[in-house]
Amino acid sequence: MHGLNPQQSAAVAHVEGPMLVLAGAGSGKTRVIVEKIAHLIRSGRYPARRIAAITFTNKSAREMRERVAKRIKGDAADGLTVCTFHALGLRILQVEHARVGLRRGFSIFDSDDVLAQLRDLMPGAKPDAVQAMQSLVSSVKNAGLSPEQAAEAARSAREHEAAALYARYQQRLAAFNAVDFDDLIRLPVQLLEGSEEAVAAWRERIGYLLVDECQDTNDAQYRLLKAIAGPRANFTCVGDDDQSIYAWRGANPENLAQLARDYPDLVVVKLEQNYRCPNRVLRAANALIAHNPHEHPKTLWSAQPDGERIRVWECRDAAHEAERVAGEIHFLATSRKVEWGEFCILFRGNHQSRPLEKALQLLRIPYHLSGGTAFLDRGEVKDALAWLRLIANPEDDAAFLRAVQSPSRGIGATSLAKLAEMAQHAGLPLARAAESMSLLKQLQPRVANALGAFTDIVRGLRADAARLPPTELVRRLNEKSGLVAALREQCRSEELFRLRRGNLDELADWFEGATISGPGELAAQLALLSHADKGDPGNQVRLMSLHAAKGLEFRYVFIVGMDDSTLPHESSLDEGRLDEERRLLYVGITRAKEQLWLSYSREAQRWGTKVRLVPSRFFDELPAAELQRDGADPEADAARRAERASAGFASIRALLED
């Protein structure tokens, strides 16, 4: 355990019984998990195949696997499980599919598929109403409730309506031999809590469990953890109650406190030494978060120097604020030779990015906005995925409907509706109905011929899937399906065609060297990929929401829009969620490795009129000694203006000389 501090060493050394590691921001929690895995294997307590480390993103899982591989040489780490909760749930369902009423090769519906099914089950409903019901059904599933349990728990008319829809929706999924993302946790929980044989088998498979970011678990994920851990409770949960910022998507920060109640022998270790931030930033973060209630209070500290005071800017409006931020970034990048990727601008809502983008563009500063169209959401990629799902599972009606129309084959909605009607009457999935000569004879000859040609292509690709590696299969699919030819026809320029064709090629490249058995597993793995896990922004200024910043770090951090209706958000004040907004700012502050700026506007345009803004109440919770406000030190301000003016003239001269 060379190089670990005493608290980290204590966390690594404890291997019998339940443990909670309260890991403050930048305290080296990933290193602790990696070292603990290495210790468990080297000590002979557990072979790698009986250890599972659970993360919340594929990116985190990939990084952890890489670090373990560097730490443990040879084949000692073979068989180690490092994956997300959803990937673990998928693994359980692939082994135990029959016990939960699924057939081999089941499909995983993404949010678009789910929305399409609910829309069909709610004829005439407005889009907002369908989305609201989708959210309600998802929240019930995240609580680990079955349709019957949801009906029992319903109190309002709206909840009863959601429970009834949930039941019909699950019947639809069963007919398609499909699950959605929420089912990847709910169904394993249902299985392990209801079958002594199944839970004993999985406790034997997973002897030691490590869970990262435990404060972000929802109720169903927590129950899955408990079911696998069992009475022996050989697990380590790592989390930070001060960084619990995902309650809006089902996370329950109370799960950390629940651990102590469920496991009276729980050993708690606090990691308080921060290896990321200057002490001045940490003192501000500690003072802010101290206003929240704590079961296990922490005080972060660092061996680093204090660093510069936190700059606080009052600006006229959002445009002026954006200009100041862009100007400061340009100055620091040019005068101190700082890479663009060392800067990050954080905001509460994505709409705040527009003036920032404009200001950065005017200064020719390259930037990457997180939250644009995700790779897996691009039309041509979703088309290819639909084909892949259909090859894997002929009973996936949602995949059939997308694939048969991608590219267009002259089969209209009326013809597809008639096919669906005949399929339902015959008790067949759409893909099998399209193969039935007796049913095709009931359609127009042109439509029947088009469907026949389509099924021939699908049949050929299924044969290819049995013998081709994943990468080659996806490339073959892109060509034989007609997707590439359709793109060429759709794209007005060769450049646009190359770009969109490149997306299909990239999809194939994801599986280079992968050992995946069959298209079913390939489709399942694709379905699990997180949108945020793909795409390196490179050397560009990062623009992102405070929610998206968790787990990241940058030398220079700007937090903009700190007025009292934006941060804290006005809805949080109405709903009594001020504590979570405070945690959100705490996360933002602790991203800064060197220097931090906080800014707000005096006024904003709202509904065509100027509105006076009030600085965020969180400024009053930050220690005044750590802040440098505009005008508070005229001498320092004058020196900074002179330095920046000189740098500005130099930049102008350089532009004129180009």
The catalytic residues are: 29-30, 212-213, 243, 591
Q: Do the bridges between strand 81-84 and strand 51-55 make them parallel or antiparallel, or are there none, so unpaired?
A: parallel
- Is residue 96 within 8 A of residue 205, CB to CB? The reply is no
Instruction: List residues bridging with 53 in a β-sheet.
Output: 82, 210
Evaluate whether 310 touches 598 at the Cβ level (below 8 Å): yes
| Cα distance between residue 399 and residue 386, in whole Å | 5
CB 277 within 8 A of CB 303: no
CA 645 to chain CA centroid, nearest Å: 42
The H or E element spanning position 609 is: strand 609-612
Distance separating alpha carbons of residues 209 and 192, to the nearest angstrom = 16
* Residues in the chain, total: 658
User: Which one-letter DSSP state was computed for residue 144?
Assistant: T
What φ, ψ does residue 278 adopt, rounded to 5°?
A: -65, 155
DSSP 429: -
Chain-centroid distance, C-alpha 344: 19
Element (H, E) at 17: none
Residue type, 353: S
Which residue type does 113 have?
Answer: D
Token pair listed for 467? 């013998």
**Tokens encoding 652:** 């102008």
At residue 636, φ and ψ (nearest 5 deg) are -65, -40
H helices within 481-534, ranges in order?
Answer: 483-490, 494-509, 518-528
Rounded Cα distance between 202 and 99, Å, is 14
CB 365 within 8 A of CB 539: no
